[in-house]
Amino acid sequence: MLLTLFAGALLISCKSENKKEALPLQTEIAPVEQIDLSIYPPAYQDVLAAHGGLAQWNAMQSLTFTMPKETGNEVHTTDLKSRDILIETDKYQIGSESGKVWLAQDSTYYPKERARFYHNLMFYFYTMPFILADNGIMYSEVVALEKDGISYPGLKIAYKANVGDSPDDEYILYYHPETKKMEWLAYTVTRGQGSKSTDFHFIKYNKWQDVNGLLLPEELIWYKSEDNLPTEARGEPRVFTNVDIDASHMGADYYMIPDNGIYVDE
pLDDT in tens, 104-115: 998 888 999 999
- Mean per-residue pLDDT of the chain: 85
- Written as one letter, the residue type at 206 is N
Task: Point out the least confidently predicted range of 19-23, 46-50, 188-192.
Answer: 19-23
Give the pLDDT confidence score for residue 167 in this predicted structure.
Answer: 57
Q: Which residues of 37-64 are buried (b: 16+ CB within 10 A; e: fewer)?
A: eeebeebbbbbbebbbbbebbbbbbbbb
Model pTM? 0.83
> What three-state secondary structure class fits 58?
helix
Complete DSSP assignment for 138-178: EEEEEEEEEETTEEEEEEEEEE-TT-SS-TT-EEEEEE-TT
Give the pLDDT confidence score for residue 166 in this predicted structure.
Answer: 53
pLDDT tens column, 142-187: 999 999 999 999 999 988 765 555 556 899 999 999 999 999 999 9
Give the pLDDT confidence score for residue 36 in this predicted structure.
Answer: 85
Dihedral of the alpha carbons of 51, 78, 21, 106, in degrees to the nearest 10: 130
**CA 207, CA 216: separation in Å to the nearest integer?**
9
| Architecture of the domain made up of 40-263 | Clam (2.50)
pLDDT tens column, 213-242: 999 999 999 999 999 999 999 999 999 999
